[in-house]
A and B are shown apart, each in its own frame.
Chain A
Amino acid sequence: MEPVRKVEGRAYPWGAKNIDTDVIIPAHWLKTISREGLGKGAFESVRAEPGNLFDDPRYAGAPVLVAGENFGCGSSREHAAWALADLGIKAVIAPSFSDIFSGNAFKNGIVTVVLPQEAIDRLVEVAKTDEITVDLETMTVTTPFQDRFPFALDPFRRDCLMQGLDEIGLTLARDTAISKFETAATQSRPFVMEGGGNEGFAVAGSGRT
């Protein structure tokens, strides 16, 4: 993953609440088997309306999205994060996010910044004319007008984002601990670790190499 230290540029001044994943990327886009190219389907129903934010040339390629509370609610589809990333969005600022969405966003290098509603209202105003900066170094969102909104981020996520770390690689490095857990669990809960058996299944391939 590309490291992210700072996201700066124009921002979509949206502010809409409860934007669900069906709005971010409708289900018919989920048939792809690749992570690329989903920007075309991002906010399809919004973009069907003339004069919408996402087709406004002023915001073309904006790396920041300012939204209302409960952004990304609905399904677990990571396609929502891929669609935003493909659109060029690197940070979303909102008063709250769905848990699943913020996890997905993080795993795709998108920063989810939680700020109070007053800050969102202000940023929506600023974004109409000016740029916004999300800085992971100083943990602040700033504008050219001396606005300065500090935010918090899970320290682990912040580290991963700033260093562009691969989470799976990090976990695989903990193999000894995982194997130890498995040995103990096989003792205490063998009925779980057997997994129900392969009866009635034709299993081929090489799961464990």
Chain B
Amino acid sequence: MANGPRTLYQKIWDDHVVERRDDGTCLIYIDRHLVHEVTSPQAFEGLRAAGRPVRRPELTLAVPDHNLPTTARTDAAGNLLPIADPESANQLAALRRNTAEFGVRYIEATDARQGIVHVIGPEQGFTLPGTTLVCGDSHTSAHGALGALAFGIGTSEVEHVLATQTLLLRQSKTMEVRVDGTLGHGVGPKDVILAIIGRIGAAGGTGHVIEYTGSVIREMSVEGRLTVSNMSIEGGARAGLIAPDETTFAYLKGRPMAPAGEAWDRAVAYWRSLPSDAGARYDAVVTLDATDIAPSLTWGTSPEDVVAITGAVPDPESFADPAKRAAARKSLDYMGLTPGTAMQDIPVEHVFIGSCTNSRIEDLRAAAAVVKGRHVADRIRQALIVPGSGLVKRQAEAEGLDRIFLEAGFEWREPGCSMCLAMNPDKVPAGERCASTSNRNFVGRQGPGARTHLLSPAMAAAAAVTGRLTDVRDLMA
């Protein structure tokens, strides 16, 4: 165990070492395991083949999200409608069957608590500060927003955790990303994380666990922090932690799976001991000034291809690195963009507000504030609002946000991953352009040939009402 001042990451690590091996790897105990339908079937199959049980089903929670259509999913009697795609149906059925067989808690698609796995973890209070949390999904980094050491794993590791409740890991390096100052009007958490990735690059955090610090992060709500930590993986870091504080505790208090009563007090006392000690050292430090961050978006097919909305499509020839130059040429070709075009002159056909990055109530409120009293532009073929969970949907309806969106010409959908990845019926057609609040702009991510611009919910709403990429500040009186 390290002496002297320790980082948040080091403290969580130290508290979860089951065994340290001579070669420096550690057997690390896993406190929380989230399971969804895409990356788990082969893991359960492996357990079955070896005759192994799930070691701690009570530390495991399963929910379907990736494959579920986001159109009405129940009939008038509340029964689940059949799923048209046979492979999706098969995968969803496998999750239901496997969780029943192995005694794992399962949230059914008809349950109001159903939603994107990274939305429901914090929402249910399953995600707790100071825990180790894994899921067979790279955006598990999101849960770091509550001060959990959370990271994505592959299916063999899912099987390993199910069977042993541990993982064999080597400690990562640490990177502090400090954002100080005050964010400008119309600039939010999504802009902050896009600016960070633009700065460090898509591989900048490889081998590192990030800790986000600074006044901007401290003043951010937990939902905003979830947006930031969510995209740590887009910067190459498996995990992105934020120290738990009063904001975190207030968010968690009273959540269904969070500790209550005496256990709550004990938990908070422990959580207060977790923030990095003064003088703790990081292997790398990156600082950003909030006043330099504008509403941001991507122009290419890597999340590091970030530009301010007031900027223009870059000229590939302007990049010093020949590989970057070649990649940019290819990106622009795929994106159908010409160097020098003002970002605000780029028309869009699709708008997607959703995904584990931006589908929580504050995201929907931010979008609704822009949409209110306006209408989706004529050229928009599809404008989707996909709440991150049934509970987010319910809350938004209680606040009347659904009316604002529906009256403006948006579609109001059921919770799920939706258009974030081309795995369920929600897709962007080839050659068409989407202003999307999701986290990946890879080639083909939203459908073969689909062109994605990543941006904030407010910016996506602005694009929907003008029909082109738009500086949301121009629509905010």
Contacts and interface: CB of A to CB of B under 8 A. Distances in A.
A77 interface: yes
A161 to B, nearest CB: 14
B323 interface: yes
A195 B443 contact: no
A57 interface: no
A52 interface: no
A68 B125 CA distance: 41
B337 interface: no
Contacts of B31: 192-193
A174 B313 CA distance: 55
Interface string B97-137: 00111111111000001000000000011101011000011
A100 B238 contact: yes
A79 B207 CA distance: 22
B165 A178 contact: yes
Interface string A161-188: 0000001100110100110011001000
Interface in B196-246: 202-203, 206-207, 236, 238
Given A156-B25, A204-B100, A73 B154 contact: no
Interface string B70-107: 00000000000000010110110010000111111111
A21 to B, nearest CB: 8
Nearest to A206: B103
Given A155-B23, A196-B125, A69 B263 contact: no
Contact of B88 (A31, A154, A156): A31
B19 A174 contact: yes
Contacts of A75: 137-138, 152, 440
Contact of A205 (B100, B155, B257): B100
A70 B203 contact: yes
Contacts of B444: 22-23, 26-27, 45
Interface stretch (B45-53, B275-283, B288-296, B363-371): B45-53
Interface string B347-382: 000000000000000000000000000000000000
A190 B262 CA distance: 11
Given A45-B444, A45-B448, A98-B236, A31 B90 contact: yes
B90 A27 contact: no
A88 interface: no
A139 interface: no
Contacts of B470: none
Interface in B1-57: 15, 18-19, 21, 23, 25, 27, 29, 31-32, 38-39, 41-42, 45-46, 50, 52-57
A162 B344 CA distance: 56
Given A26-B422, A171-B160, A174-B166, 13 more contacts: A18-B327, A30-B66, A33-B42, A103-B154, A171-B168, A177-B19, A194-B58, A195-B59, A196-B257, A198-B105, A201-B107, A205-B99, A206-B53
Interface of B: 15, 18-19, 21, 23, 25, 27, 29, 31-32, 38-39, 41-42, 45-46, 50, 52-61, 66-67, 85, 87-88, 90-91, 94, 99-107, 113, 124-126, 128, 130-131, 136-138, 140, 152-157, 159-160, 163-166, 168, 170, 172, 202-203, 206-207, 236, 238, 256-259, 263-264, 266-267, 270, 302, 323, 327, 421-423, 440, 442-445, 448
Interface of A: 17-18, 20, 22-23, 26-28, 30-35, 45, 68-70, 73-79, 81, 96, 98-100, 103-104, 107-108, 154-156, 167-168, 171-172, 174, 177-178, 181-182, 185, 189-201, 203-209
The 9 A-B pairs of least Cβ separation, nearest first, read A196-B257, A207-B57, A207-B103, A205-B103, A33-B41, A191-B259, A78-B154, A107-B156, A31-B87
